[in-house]
Amino acid sequence: MSHWITLPRMEGITSRQAHADLPSDSYERELGKEGFYGPSTQMYHRHPPTGWVEVEGPLRPRAFDTTRLKSYQASPWEAFPLFSNEHLQWRFWRTKGSMDHLARNADGDELLFIHEGDGDLYCDYGHLAFQEGDYILLPRGTLWRVETEKPLGVLLLEATGDSYRLPDKGIAGSHAVFDPAVLDTPTINEHFLAQQTESEWRVVVKRRDVLSTIIYPFNPLDAVGWHGTLLPVRLNWRDIRPIMSHRYHIPPSVHTTFTTSRFVVCTFCPRPMESDPGALKVPFFHNNDDYDEVIFYHKGEFFSRDNIHPGMMTLHPSGITHGPHPKAFAAGKKALHKETNEVAVMVDARDALAVAEFPSGVEWVGYVDSWK
């Protein structure tokens, strides 16, 4: 067990409560361990901590526009790579039509987030209809394919060598954020039974990032029943009920949807804004010194950023302060908005992320200057 050195002290001009009633003409910056889960200190500055003139080197904040990735891929194994490390592979899959083969990930659990489109997923466990805004969690080794009549845009998040779990909700209770009863599972229904043909099927398996192909003279999705506790689940962001406080801006960790050993997946959903006059109305400036942070903007307008539209992604590497853009900070001080309307998927990765080589025009190179 870790025993952090925790000796709370106050020095100089400070607030009595973090993220509320800041000293006049000051800017709060949080320094923390283990993301937002460990000990932290709030600094109070005369100038915005993101008020840089220039940033050079790999800590430069970056933004990317996945709507500029125009090509379609027939297989999830052809999806465009975005970010990766030893414990995480994040890809973006744009496809249209139905898969003519089955996929199996032997490297780790796969989490799908449906950004665009709808359709049907068939897997070892049965049939599962899906729509925009769904998370679909597939345990490692699950055979699956999708059928669709519309183009799909799908985030693929592989927990390499790991498994997805639900976060500890602590004193909020097991029904907070979302009740596990809302998790849907595949069913062996007439749609599933109807696709159990005796025709030849191809299975493409990924193991250690190498593909193998297995040919069957029948459809191996031929289960007639199952029981157990290892199974795919579906969760739509609309079933998430964010924890919030009208008097205190709660850190992103409270919005955790899934956890692994080395990264967490959070979902930002529409919610009322803080109404207490002294409470911060936007995320506080912070050093996330133990995690790289990536946010995918799915829907709406992200209230702490300018010039961000659905389909964009931002990367804030560990080691550099980040926080709200100046216009958002000013709007928060004036309490111009009463609620947020954004939906976004955030990943906090404990290990540094490698960024893929993007086609020209996908990266917004001026993002680093957007705090000026």
Three-state secondary-structure class, residue 65:
strand
Sign of the four-CA dihedral 365, 370, 371, 372:
positive
- 222, with CB counted inside 10 A (0-12, 13-18, 19+), is middle
292 annotated as a binding-site residue: yes
Collapse the DSSP code of 91 into the 3-class scheme (helix H, G, I; strand E, B; otherwise coil) and give the result. Answer: strand
Q: How far apart are CA 163 and CA 157, in angstroms?
A: 11
Active site residue 249: yes
CA 38 to chain centre: 21
| Whole-number Å distance between alpha carbons of 220 and 199 | 10
Nearest C-alpha neighbor of 140 from the set 114, 103, 182: 103
Q: Exposed, middle or buried by CB within 10 Å (0-12, 13-18, 19+), for 172?
A: exposed
Q: How far apart are CA 293 and CA 186, in angstroms?
A: 32
Annotated active-site residue in 19, 87, 115, 249? 249
- Is 286 annotated in some ligand binding site? yes
Q: According to the annotation, is 337 in a ligand binding site?
A: no
Q: How far apart are CA 26 and CA 14, in angstroms?
A: 9
User: What gap in Å lies between CA 212 and CA 42, rounded to an integer?
Assistant: 51
Residue 211 CB partners (closer than 8 Å, separation 6+): 77, 204, 205
- Integer Cα distance of 136 and 11 in angstroms: 48
**Unique residue bearing structure tokens 């460990």:** 38
The helix (run of H) or strand (run of E) holding residue 330 is helix 326-333
Token pair listed for 183: 């998790």
CA distance 40 to 56: 27
Mark the binding-site residues for homogentisate, compressed into ranges.
322
**Hey, which residues are catalytic here?**
249
